[in-house]
Structure 1
């Protein structure tokens, strides 16, 4: 799973990074099937998406749909709390990729 995001305000970038790296990655990796996560920051200022940050989550699951659904359940019931330092308008871009080889 790949997530592109950015802080809600450039002045809150440190808070956003502290929450994302210090809390959010562990919360997501606590969902059964999510085994690893890494974060990246774009180096090209001309990034067309406008999202300065990228998180890549590795999933190992026999039922990818159920694993991603569990992530949504936890986000909805408060076990995966969001920070208002994360920009939600526009929302982060999320894509789930299936391994081919």
Structure 2
């Protein structure tokens, strides 16, 4: 399967008071379930670094970035099917009201500092 360079970004928050359970579930279960989807070749989680210059608290505390290969639409279709069937489980510690998922394709060539 050809590398599309696409990324699936998942912005999330835990339910209030459930941060430890949220992180335990995400790190020990959810990452493995998502990366088992054909076309998802890797994933990594990030914690937000609040910056005083951004003007306020960010909407999300956590970000997961998944590397996709092949046709992103097909990968997302399989992801949604597995989530709907329960093969990819969701934790009650995940605040679904703030969840944001999007897929991004590369635009242009990458630039590096000289």
Offset, 1:64:
1.4
- C-alpha distance in 1, partners of 2:106/2:86? 30
Between the two proteins, the alignment pairs up a number of residues equal to: 97
- C-alpha distance in 2, partners of 1:89/1:67? 24
* Runs of 4+ in structure 1 over 6 Å off: none
Structure 2 unaligned blocks of 5 or more: 1-7, 110-114
1:87 maps to 2:95: yes
Question: Pairwise mapping of residues 64-83 of structure 1 onto structure 2 (< 5 A)?
Answer: 64-83=72-91
Structure 1 unaligned blocks of 5 or more: none
- C-alpha distance in 1, partners of 2:106/2:76? 15
TM score, norm. by length of structure 2: 0.80
**Counterpart in the other structure of 2:60:** 51
Q: Which protein shows a greater Rg?
A: 2
TM score, norm. by length of structure 1: 0.89
* Root-mean-square deviation (Å): 1.3
- C-alpha distance in 2, partners of 1:59/1:71? 11
Superimposed CA distance per residue, residues 75-95 of structure 1 (whole angstroms, 9 cap, x where no aligned partner): 0001001000000123x1111
